[in-house]
Amino acid sequence: MNDSTAIRYQFNPLLTDTVGFFDYCIPLTNESSPPASDSLKKYYDFSVFNYITPPPTRKLLLETTSIFTPNNLATKHTGPLAINRMDTDWITIVFLTCLIILAWIQSTYSKRFMQIFRAVFQPHFINQLEREGNIFRERITLGLGFIFYTLSSIFIFLLFREFIGLPPKLPNIAFAAIIFGSLLLYQLIKSTVINITGIIFDTGEYARQFQLNALLFNHIIGVILLPVALIALYWDSTAFLIVGSVIVMLLAAYKLLRNILTGWANKSYNLFYLFLYLCTLEILPIVMLCKAISKI
């Protein structure tokens, strides 16, 4: 085998070995760079094929119209953004649990559920609500109460995360559990004081009306906070937190007005005790609760 007939590889830049069968080299073409490990390298002669398939002298760059059009969007962030590594798996479990409970209530106690809504926004439906059972001892109260306390805790947790800040050395789930326990403790103390004052001042029926109003409004607030907290968490929307806060404050103001009208309708009820009740059990505990949680 002489050098002129033992040509094995030549280079042609217009050909491409897409499958790698020839180890990036095309046989019998103008291959100027044969494999380094080829044992027949000493027999190669590339002069013959230079006249057959000469390599291109230079690359031709052609200018064409791009199919991609520029946009006028302004840069929103100039620097790197911190990754939000907050664990929300436990919040997802809470949301799923509340959705299951709400579906159970809607399928089993749909009539009673509608009566609660009507009693909140139309006071004359309270008599119908009480005639058909004791709402304090029904199963629907347990389900709606769980929804209220858990979603209120998550909503307050989101408010702290967005506007105040979370405790750096406290796990998120522990902080939410503290809020949950604080709400339960506040409601327990509030109910106990209302019952005691009802016995002392012989206004047991009106004390029961106060507790019934609080119970009904809590149920409605819990149901309203479910979509608000869900969207605020997973869409990271501050606007929904503000909207939810406004709705809760409006319902709280409406409940306060209902309690004032309930006490005003009782001629034997001293207005001083009504004012004392509103200040000590409705306004002051909420302020103290927010103050205590913010120092954690």
d(CA 9, CA 34): 6
- Max intra-chain CA distance, the chain: 126
5-19: average pLDDT: 46
Please give the structure tokens belonging to residue 22: 């020839």
Query: What integer pLDDT is reported at residue 218 of this predicted model?
Result: 93
pLDDT digits (tens, 9 = 90+) for 170-213: 888 899 999 999 889 888 888 888 888 778 777 777 778 888 98
The dihedral built from the CA positions of residue 105, 109, 112 and 117, taken in this order, carries a sign that is positive
Examine residue 119 and state whether it is found in any structural domain, yes or no.
yes
Instruction: Name the least confident of 34-38, 136-140, 170-174.
Output: 34-38
Residues 110 and 159 in one domain: yes
List 9's β-bridge partners, or say none. Answer: 27
Please give the structure tokens belonging to residue 89: 């798996």
Confidence bin at 154 (pLDDT 50/70/90): very high
Count: domains in the chain: 2
Residues 288 and 246 in one domain: yes
DSSP letter, residue 9: B
Please give the structure tokens belonging to residue 105: 């209530």
Residues 51 and 94 in one domain: no
Residues 129 and 37 in one domain: no
pLDDT digits (tens, 9 = 90+) for 60-106: 555 566 666 666 777 776 777 665 555 677 898 999 999 999 999 99
Query: What integer pLDDT is reported at residue 84 of this predicted model?
Result: 55
Greater pLDDT, 58 or 215: 215
Examine residue 69 and state whether it is found in any structural domain, yes or no.
no
d(CA 270, CA 65): 85
Residues 53 and 97 in one domain: no
Q: What is the pTM of this model?
A: 0.66
Instruction: Name the least confident of 6-10, 96-100, 177-181, 261-265.
Output: 6-10
Residues 154 and 270 in one domain: yes
Please give the structure tokens belonging to residue 246: 């406004």
Residues 154 and 221 in one domain: yes
**Structural domain harbouring 16:** 1-58
Residues 187 and 247 in one domain: yes
Residues 122 and 161 in one domain: yes
Is 23 a residue whose pLDDT tops 50? no
Examine residue 228 and state whether it is found in any structural domain, yes or no.
yes
Instruction: Name the least confident of 117-126, 135-144, 153-162, 199-208.
Output: 199-208
Please give the structure tokens belonging to residue 272: 């001083």
Query: What integer pLDDT is reported at residue 81 of this predicted model?
Result: 64
Confidence bin at 266 (pLDDT 50/70/90): low
Q: What is the dihedral of CA 217, 223, 229, 230, to 10 degrees?
A: 180
Residues 101 and 23 in one domain: no
Residues 152 and 254 in one domain: yes
Average pLDDT value over all residues in the chain:
75
Examine residue 74 and state whether it is found in any structural domain, yes or no.
no
**What type of residue sits at position 89?**
D
Q: Which of 58, 75, 100 is the last residue of a domain?
A: 58
User: How does 158-177 read in b/e, with b if 16+ C-beta sit within 10 Å?
Assistant: bbbbeeeebeeeeebeebbe
How distant is the alpha carbon of residue 240 from its chain centre? 10
Examine residue 64 and state whether it is found in any structural domain, yes or no.
no
d(CA 288, CA 292): 6
Query: What integer pLDDT is reported at residue 272 of this predicted model?
Result: 62
Examine residue 66 and state whether it is found in any structural domain, yes or no.
no
Q: What is the dihedral of CA 276, 180, 133, 277, to 10 degrees?
A: 0
Examine residue 283 and state whether it is found in any structural domain, yes or no.
yes
Percent of the chain with pLDDT over 90: 23
d(CA 117, CA 121): 7
Residues 102 and 13 in one domain: no
Examine residue 146 and state whether it is found in any structural domain, yes or no.
yes
